[in-house]
Amino acid sequence: MKETREKTKITEKILQILVIYTIGIVGWLLFKLLLLFKRIKVVSYQEEPFQFQNGLLVVSNHPSLLEPILIPFLFFRFVFWHPIKFCPINTPDKKNYYDKCFWFWIRGFSIPVDRKSRWGRSRSLVKIKNALSKGKIVIFFPEGGRTEKGKEFVFSKKGKKIRLLEKGIGWLISKTKAQVLPLWVEGTEGILPNSPNPEELYSTFPRFWKRAIIKIGNPLKFSGDEDKEKIVKEITSSLLQLADKEE
């Protein structure tokens, strides 16, 4: 039984490496082209380097279904040289990405979140905690779904909005003391519409002539002793301040 598990782990690692050096490189080149033609702009306000000692939790707002695809390529320079150690673990919605057969190749890099099940969400949080405890990079969307699907929002001074963040992110940080890297994404809902017009076939495909921006904030450090609600408030504040920063 132990030998079988070890063989399975080896097989998974080999598959991960193959995906990174095939699909990953193709995707990274496309990402670079979008940067070159200014369809995507990345702006960094980071003043301190992030660390991996207790894991790195990358938190972002979630305006569209495109963020789980784009954000991992921000770390590709690390992944290229150390594919197993630094490959980001995504946390996609189980229904939209993970369950569909054509997304089989991302399953080795993902912890799916079942947003319709409280038990499923709790189980996913435990898996994310374990990944962070191993020093992994985890991409997390604490709004609990796309922004437009929310009912309660918090607004920045300039009117940018996010959903109320779920308390699970406070629990994750209190348990792992992971460093938090905030990201703010705008415009991706224009590239990949949330509600495509069924009468316009082209609207179901990415509109790469549209423009998106990714803002990278300064890493946040927590001792793990803070109140969970305080952690959630600080991350919310950091995201909204980042949203209001000029390009």
The answer to whether 154 and 235 have CB atoms below 8 angstroms apart is no
Summarised one tens digit per residue, pLDDT across range 97-142 is 666 666 667 777 888 888 777 888 889 999 999 999 999 999 999 9
Write down the pLDDT at residue 241.
Answer: 96
Query: pTM here?
Result: 0.89
Write down the pLDDT at residue 59.
Answer: 97
Summary mean pLDDT of the chain: 87
Write down the pLDDT at residue 165.
Answer: 95
**Mean pLDDT per 10-residue segment, the chain (247 residues):** 63 80 91 95 86 87 93 91 86 73 73 81 92 93 92 95 94 93 95 69 73 95 88 96 92
Write down the pLDDT at residue 203.
Answer: 57
Q: Is the dihedral of CA 29, 143, 223, 48 positive or negative?
A: positive
In the chain, what are the domain boundaries?
A: 2-244
Write down the pLDDT at residue 12.
Answer: 72
Beta strands at 179-186 and 56-60: parallel, antiparallel or unpaired:
parallel
Please determine, looking at this structure, whether the domain spanning 2-244 carries the CATH number 1.10.150: no
